[in-house]
Structure 1
Amino acid sequence: MRYVAGTVTRTSPPTVGPRPRGGHEIHHDATLRAWTVGHDPHELRRAVSRDGAAEVILVGACLPSVEEARCAADAAARGRWHEAGQLPGSYLAIVTDRGTVRVLGDRAGTVQVHWIVTGSAVTWSTSASALAALTGAAPDLVRLLAEVTTWGAEPGADGWFEGIHRVPPGAALTLAPDTPPSIEQPPVPAGRSFAEAADALRHELPLAVGRRALSGRLSSDLSGGVDSSSIACLAAAHTDLTAVTYVDAAMADQDDTRYAAEIAAANPAITRHLVDGRFTGSRHYDQLADLAGVPVTDAPALSVAMLGIMEAQLAPAVAAASTGHLTGWGGDNVLDAFASPADRYRSGARAAGLRDAHRLARDRRAAAHPVLRATAASARGSYPKALARLASAVLTGPAPQGIPDAADVARWCGPLSAARWLTPAGRTAVADLVGGRVRSADPAIGPGALRERLALEATGAEFANFDALTRALFDLPLHAPFLDTRVIDICLAVPAWERHRPGDFKPLARAALTGLVHAPLLARRTKTPFTGIYDGLRVNAPALRALLAGSTLAQAGLIDTSAVLASLDRTIHGSPADLVSLHGLVAAEVWLTNCPSTSTFDGWWEPAPARESAR
């Protein structure tokens, strides 16, 4: 597993402790020691400010230029440390400034920072598993449980292991001598008009793709959808490209496949490979009968449900000796938006918010009154109040019987139908966890803004999992230009109700990319549904039943196995109510099964060499 780790000494003399096994030291002074594990030399960049007061160290798969890094160091010396996190690319940033150390990942959470206090030092890492191995921390079963039985309860500082703290994506872990660790949020990016954002994105997205095209032989997804197809078109302007379109029985005759073929035919730099799951025999939830063959990820990975499809889809890229595979991950998060009538209503545009709510109900063929009522009620509500209600509902209320209804777009959080899996002990544990987050919840955030942020962070975290799997299985790194902080900052500076317009599909993409990508693509008004997951559930039901029957969460007394297996049977036969929760539970159980075999201290850490201890 690739990761970065470091130790910051808070008192004198400097603490000398273990170092990551196989780590390459990138910094050592009286305050900070830092190492990379599994990174190539070109994935490291550093710059010192012109006055020598500050230094910026960047580690990642796509890095800013030397001059951009130097400008960030100069800014840090003047107190603007956050600019080190707002450069082009995808990376971890370490900023040192006159004894203060700040460590920050990216806004999407593709690079996350975790930390613990050990004696007189703080040890941090982009891998929570590494810190768990250092301290012997166990997985946090209640957080896992909350993820699959509720929605909208943000994790905050809670990591996947007990006692391992998490830095919220985009924020900085700030460490200084004789000072407790703290979390600093960067300034909120200034708002942009739709036109301003389109102009900025027209420059920034091609730059993000073009820089990656300089890194070696590239391949790309080419689904025919707006996101991956736009990335492929932008990459083909720089280099010959192996592009892959994956279909199954449900997708073969959909619009996506036709658009993908048209794009490849119109662009001679693209060599397209059509991979048909009907012929490769690949399905969702393949390869889970023997979990020893599933690579370990730093967090529960939804992508383990894609192992068979992943192998078939990426085979052309691997055969072409690709050194990096481009994807459209994050496009839905930044080019589109969740419907957010409540946020518009709360902003003061009450009539517009109610019109949006009525239109949403009509589009979803739902009763208008509940959506209108929830939208109006949002002006009197807040996220802390909503979390308190959720804690009470989990503890005493009945679980919903279906998928979240249309009115939930105007609510902050709620229980999922999978809450009926909870035992009394499970209900109490989840209610306590949710209730514990009331005090730290942001009272000013609207339901739409919260959902948008949590969805972005979930996408970023899962992309990191997917990348870890493809690196481990195929030695193939993935890239997601839409998830670069710079791209996110541009797009999310536009209000959600301007990025998501009824009757229009991803208007920001059309405004920004016209003339740069295949023109008919930007005129699309549809998105292909992905329903092949039910076929995978049916075929792989025996392996899934065996996994869930031996559930770690059930053995801990937190969920009822019979209720879970009943949900699996209903879902196999087409019920959508528990589909998302089952997916999350499978990911959690695979991760819990594989965690013990990889969490030993000696597997992750080693004593510091004498030459380091003597410094």
Structure 2
Amino acid sequence: MKSLVGAWLPEGGVLGIRPAGAVADHGDARTPLWTVGYREDEVRAVADGPRSLLVAGACGAGRAQLRAVLTASDGSWWESTRSWPGSFVAVRRDQAGVSVRGDLCGLRTVYWARLGEAVVWADAAAPLAAAIGTGPDLVRALCAMTVTGVDPLGGHSLFEKVHRVPPGGVLRIDPDGVRVRPAPPLPPVVGHDHQQRLAAAITAAVRLRVAAAKSPTTDLSGGLDSGTLASVAAGFAPTLGITWRDRFSINSDVHYARDLARQVPGLDHEIVTGTEESANYHGLQDVAEVPFTDGPSLALATLGTFDLIYAAARAHDSDMHLSGEGGDAVLTGWGALLVDAWTPGRRREVLTLIAHWARLGDTSVAHTARRLLALARADHHRELARLAEALRRGPVAVDRPNLLARCGPRPGTAWLTRHGRHAVADIVDASRTWTPRGVPPGRRDYWDAIHHSGTTHADTARIAEHHDIALHLPYLDDTVIGVCAIAPELLRFSPRDYKPLLHGLRGTVPDLLLERRTAGAFDGTARVGLTAREPWVRDLIASSRLADAGLIDPARATATLDRTLCGMHSHAEIHHLIATETWARVVDHHRDHWWTPTGRKDPACA
């Protein structure tokens, strides 16, 4: 697995281990630093005396920009890196210690753990857990699966005693200890040309990837996000767009993809068709063959689809594949965003949007407006306390999550045992200590969606690595998020235009795509896959790790499976459960694969 791993050692300390597969050591005796799985052109470093900077990943900074960061102050050096196109981890070292920053969305999250008097850090949590001898934190994983609107992590991770640097933050390790500096606010932008700024950011992000690719390929779903990237990429080099056709769902995506490929010069097109064999949950039965993910990845359900797409990419001699994932989170905003927009001079337009939202939810305008008003008045910390109290009080019945609630239970809470309910409630309560106060509900939801997308697709990229494909997600670059996050709410939610922020690319992206008003559905492949793998799913639930820990009742989960198979329940909850149970098993399988001994080990680092 591609990773960046480092450590800070006490004076004279010896770690005694190094990452398995490490091909380069970029550090020194006090601050060793290893890269695993990176190509040579993906790792760049500059130094000036005791100071050095290393970036790992796709980074569009020139050498002069890299060197300028060496002389920047300790409190602001990472702010300069936010303006660089790409997705990367940056590490700056000096005489006193080391500083590490990931990105704004969590696609490149930084983790750390104590190993005796040493501190080890990496851009994945599982290797650190293996180093210190801990395992998955099943309660936090369960919390992510059973409640919504709650950050179960804060500075924690999904592994016990492994700490997370929240997205946008910077890790600092020196003789004074370990500190995490929160993300600085995004700088204000002069002017209102958000669409043109976004067009420039996306163009730079795509150009960076295409320039480093042998034979670029891209998703071409027929939707706006992937179609935009495909159109931009084809302007720089011949690009193959790959469309996955779901035989078991009805939508117009393939037709849009085919028409788009005809209109964009330089864009070739290939369609791969799903089968019953490649439907959901294919390839999960043999844990040894399941790609490693750092958390319960919902993408694991679609391994069969990835097999088809990446086989087509490899046949094209591609080593770089673009994906439009993350576009929905970054370019749009739903529900609570309208509360933030409710200001004098804009209320008539907001009421129009509320009516549009009501139609989407098949409810009355008055009912939707009342719920939005209640959302605006709600105190998020108080709502978290009420949710924790409700979980402790007894079973919580819910058919589907309330999309306009600040937080609440998901249907999976019905599976919780008394111990499970109290364990989740404790984390919900604790989350109030790291959940900021006073954040408008729309802005909170927007950043929650971006962070969820980033951490989710970090594992999607790891699945692509399993096929020797570098997956790139330009919508999750800091430069792209930085433009979208400060754009007016009504540029991210419009009943007349879908994703109007992308209209700055009109001319590069054909009108047929920018004016599309529909979205594809792929529920058929989930239904077919679950039916085909029913015996395996039942065995998975019967041998549940969550049940072994006393957290869920497998009989209740099986009852939900029965209702899902009969079409009486959404696939979402069983999908989450399968991902969590599979992840716990894969982690156990990989536990001894992360590190190799190097000889003497200092007791201070044990």
Query: After TM superposition, is the score higher than 0.5?
Result: yes
Q: How much does 1:502 deviate? A: 2.1
| 2:384–2:432 Cα contact (<8 Å) kept | yes
Give 2:334's match in structure 1, choosing from 338, 349, 358.
Answer: 338
Change (3 A) 1:412 1:232: same
The equivalent of 2:514 in structure 1 is 522
Deviation of the 1:76 alpha carbon? 4.5
Change in Cα spacing, 1:123 to 1:248, as seen in structure 2 (3 Å) is same
How far, CA to CA, are the matches of 1:174 and 1:370 in structure 2?
48
Q: Which letter does structure 1 place at the counterpart of 2:368?
A: V
Question: Does structure 1 residue 394 correspond to structure 2 residue 387?
Answer: no
Q: Tell me how far apart the structure 2 counterparts of residues 221 and 194 of structure 1 sit (CA, whole Å).
A: 33
Opposite residue 3 of structure 2, the aligned amino acid is: Y
Q: Which residue of 2 aligns with 1:486?
A: 479
d(CA) in 1 for partners of 2:94, 2:488 = 35
* CA contact 1:94–1:102 (8 Å) conserved in 2: yes
Q: What is the distance in 2 between the residues matched to 1:456 and 1:281? A: 32
Separation of aligned partners in 1, 2:346 and 2:76: 40
- Listed as ranges, the matches of 1:125-524 within 5 Å are 125-154=122-151, 155-177=153-175, 179-192=176-189, 195-215=192-212, 216-251=214-249, 254-278=251-275, 281-341=277-337, 343-344=339-340, 351=347, 356-405=353-402, 408-409=403-404, 411-472=405-466, 474-510=467-503, 512-524=504-516
Task: Supply the AA of the counterpart residue of 2:450.
Answer: L
- Alpha-carbon spacing, 1:247–1:169, altered in 2? closer, same or farther (3 Å): same
Aligned to 1:598: 590
- Structure 1 runs not aligned, ≥5 long: none
Q: Secondary structure at 1:274's aligned position in 2?
A: strand
Q: Which moved more, 1:12-21 or 1:166-175?
A: 12-21
1:6 is aligned with what amino acid? G
- Paired letter, 2:577: L
**Contact 1:226 1:522 (8 Å CA) reproduced:** yes
Give the aligned partner of residue 90 of structure 2. Answer: 93
Range moving further from structure 2, 446-455 or 337-346:
337-346
Q: How far apart, in 2, do the equivalents of 1:448 and 1:129 lie?
A: 33
In the TM superposition, what whole-angstrom CA distance separates every residue of 1:488-520 from its partner, at most 9, and x where no partner exists? Answer: 11111114343111232111112x211112221
Offset, 1:540: 2.0
- Are the structure 2 counterparts of residues 15 and 404 from structure 1 closer, same or farther at C-alpha, using a change threshold of 3 Å? same
Q: Is the contact between residue 102 and residue 168 of structure 2 (CA under 8 Å) also seen in structure 1?
A: yes
Measured in 1, the distance between the counterparts of 2:290 and 2:332 equals 33
Q: 1:546 to 1:62 in 2, by over 3 A?
A: farther
Aligned position for 1:2? 2
Asked if the contact 1:344–1:497 (Cα under 8 Å) also holds between the matched residues in 2, the reply is no
Structure 2 alignment gaps of length 5 or more: none
Q: Deviation per CA, 1:142-165: give whole Å up to 9, x if none.
A: 011111110111121121111110
Check whether the contact 1:15–1:120 (CA below 8 A) recurs between aligned residues: no
Q: CA deviation at 1:82?
A: 2.5
CA contact (8 A) 1:426 1:558 kept: yes
Task: Give the Cα–Cα distance (whole angstroms) in 1 for the partners of residues 515 and 600 of structure 2.
Answer: 60
Number of paired residues? 598
SS in 2 for 1:95: strand
Describe the SS at the equivalent of 2:585.
Answer: helix
Cα deviation for residue 359 of structure 1 reads 4.3
- Offset at 1:528? 1.6
* Structure 1 contact 48–74 (Cα < 8 Å) conserved: no
Give, as a single letter, the amino acid of the residue that structure 1 aligns with 2:88. Answer: Y
Q: Which amino acid aligns with 2:517?
A: R
SS at match of 1:373: helix
Alignment partner, residue 60 of structure 1: 57
1:103–1:172 CA contact under 8 A, matched in 2:
yes
The alpha-carbon distance between structure 1 residues 211 and 377, as it changes in their structure 2 partners (threshold 3 A), is same
TM-score scaled to structure 1, two decimals?
A: 0.91
Q: What letter is aligned with 2:245?
A: V
Higher relative contact order (CA 8 A, sep 6+): 2
| 1:204 Cα deviation after fit | 1.4
Corresponding residue to 1:566 among 538, 559, 569: 559
Q: Shift of the alpha carbon at 1:433? A: 1.1
Q: Is the 8 A contact 2:395 2:416 kept in 1?
A: no
Letter of the 1:432 partner, please give it: D
Structure 1 segments, 4+ long, off by >6 Å, are: 345-350
Q: Return the offset for 1:171.
A: 0.8
- Separation in 1, partners of 2:376, 2:325: 33
* Cα distance between partner residues in 2 of 1:369 and 1:161: 45
**Shift in Å, 1:96:** 2.6
Q: 1:483/1:534 Cα in 2 relative to 1: closer, same or farther (>3 Å)? A: same
1:513 & 1:443 partners in 2: Cα distance?
Answer: 37
With over 3 angstroms needed to count, the CA separation of the structure-2 counterparts of 1:37 and 1:63, relative to structure 1, is farther
- Relative distance call for 1:271 and 1:357 in structure 2 (3 A) is closer
CA 1:516 to 1:67, structure 2 compared with 1: closer, same or farther past 3 Å?
farther
**Cα distance per residue 1:244-302 (max 9 Å; x no partner):** 11111344x53321111111112342221111224x74211122233332122222221
Determine if the alignment matches structure 1 residue 555 to structure 2 residue 548: yes
Match of 1:607 among 594, 598, 601: 598
Distance 1:233 1:379, change over 3 A: closer
Secondary structure in 1 matching 2:433: coil
1:115-161 deviation per Cα after TM superposition (whole angstroms, max 9, x unaligned): 11223322111121111111111210101111111011112112111
Instruction: Tell me how large the CA RMSD over aligned residues is.
Output: 2.5
1:79 and 1:249, CA in 2 relative to 1: closer, same or farther beyond 3 A? closer
TM-superposed CA distance for 1:573, in Å, is 2.4
SS at 1:437 equivalent: helix
Mapped partners of 1:379, 1:152: distance in 2: 15
TM-score, normalised by the number of residues in structure 2: 0.92
AA of the residue aligned to 1:321: D
* Aligned mates of 1:217, 1:56 — CA distance in 2: 30
Identity %: 33
